Amino acid sequence: MSIVFDLERTNQLNLLPDKDLVDLCPHIESYQVTKNLLFFFPLQSKN
């Protein structure tokens, strides 16, 4: 649960207009990585 919560917080931070975050990690890439993690982590936790 804490992993998902941290990812959600990270997503919220990425939505903020922070030029440093935009330069280091484009919004689209950040969203894709977060989406993939949210998809795979629940599958791993069930096993």
Instruction: State the Rg of the chain over Cα.
Output: 12
Tell me if 15 sits within 8 A of 4, measured CB to CB. Answer: no
Domain count, the chain: 1
Please give the pLDDT value at position 15: 53
CB atoms within 10 A of CB 41: 13
Please state the pTM of the whole predicted model.
0.21
Inside any domain, residue 12: yes
| Percentage of residues in the chain having pLDDT higher than 90 | 0
* Residue range of the domain that includes 12: 2-40
How long, in residues, is the chain?
47
Reduced to 3 states (helix: H, G, I; strand: E, B; else coil), residue 18 is: coil
CA angle at 40 for the pair 29 and 37, rounded to the nearest 5°: 30
Whether 15 is covered by a domain: the verdict is: yes
